[in-house]
């Protein structure tokens, strides 16, 4: 019989709270504009680069664990979480100081852009609890469950990171500086 410890219960509560609070706070702040703020137009290429770096580090972390380098894997995954938080802060800061940029392309590429954008946004919300659950399983030293969750979390997180770069590259010609 599997007994859930008090520590596991607290972690589950925090994962639930964060998985709901983060998207809600981002949605609220996304709509709020700081009055008379200087637009932080330099941020999009920085946070797109952070997404690209996250993708590279995610793949490197998987390779490292397959090669038995647990400490490196742990450090890389912690770095990926920190990079994701940095991305989130910059993304919100940009949108609190700058007007949203509309995609200016047309035809088939417009549909491709919106398909990528919508899937990126939906999965970026869904990956939050997945990352937290996967990380918590390693933290609790339940490596069997960690591996099971990681098999689901990794491809989704990688997709979100890569499509973040693609969305930036597709919309960057339309940014107003």
60-96 per-position pLDDT tens digit: 999 999 999 999 999 999 999 999 999 999 999 999 9
Q: Is the pTM of this model over 0.95?
A: no
Mean pLDDT computed over 136-161: 97
Given a contact cutoff of 8 angstroms between Cβ atoms, the answer to whether 166 and 174 are in contact is no
Residues 6+ apart with CB under 8 A from 43: 90, 91, 93, 94
The first and second tokens of residue 140, run together, are 């609790």
Q: pLDDT digit string (tens) for 36-62? A: 999 999 999 999 999 999 999 999 999
Q: Is the pLDDT of residue 170 over 80?
A: yes
The SS3 call for residue 102 is coil
Rounded to the nearest 10 degrees, how much is the dihedral formed by the CA atoms of 56, 130, 165, 73?
A: -10
Q: pLDDT digit string (tens) for 104-138? A: 999 999 999 999 999 999 999 999 999 999 999 99
Length of the chain: 177
Domain ranges for the chain: 41-174
Q: What is the pLDDT of residue 2?
A: 62
Phi first, then psi, for residue 21 (nearest 5°) are: -65, -45
Angle ∠(106,52,93) on CA atoms, nearest 5: 75
Give the C-alpha separation, 140 to 162, whole Å: 29
> Band of the pLDDT at 30, cuts 50, 70, 90?
confident
Mean pLDDT computed over 23-31: 92
The SS3 call for residue 19 is helix
Q: What is the CATH number of domain 41-174?
A: 1.20.120.80
Q: What is the pLDDT of residue 1?
A: 53
């Amino acid at each position: 019989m599997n007994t859930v410890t008090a520590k596991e219960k607290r972690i589950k509560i925090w994962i639930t709270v964060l998985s709901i609070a983060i998207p809600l706070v981002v949605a609220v702040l996304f709509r709020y504009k700081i009055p008379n703020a200087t637009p932080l137009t330099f941020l999009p290429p920085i946070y797109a680069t952070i997404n690209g770096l996250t993708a590279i580090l995610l793949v490197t972390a998987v390779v490292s664990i397959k090669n038995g380098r647990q400490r490196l894997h742990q450090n890389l995954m912690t770095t990926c979480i920190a990079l994701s938080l940095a991305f989130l802060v910059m993304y919100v800061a940009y949108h609190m100081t700058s007007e949203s940029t509309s995609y200016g392309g047309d035809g088939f590429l417009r549909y491709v852009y919106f398909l990528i954008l919508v899937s990126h946004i939906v999965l970026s919300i869904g990956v939050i609890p997945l990352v937290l659950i996967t990380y918590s399983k390693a933290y609790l030293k339940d490596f069997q469950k960690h591996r099971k969750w990681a098999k689901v979390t990794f491809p989704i997180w990688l997709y979100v990171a890569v499509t973040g770069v693609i969305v930036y590259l597709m919309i960057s010609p339309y940014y107003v500086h």
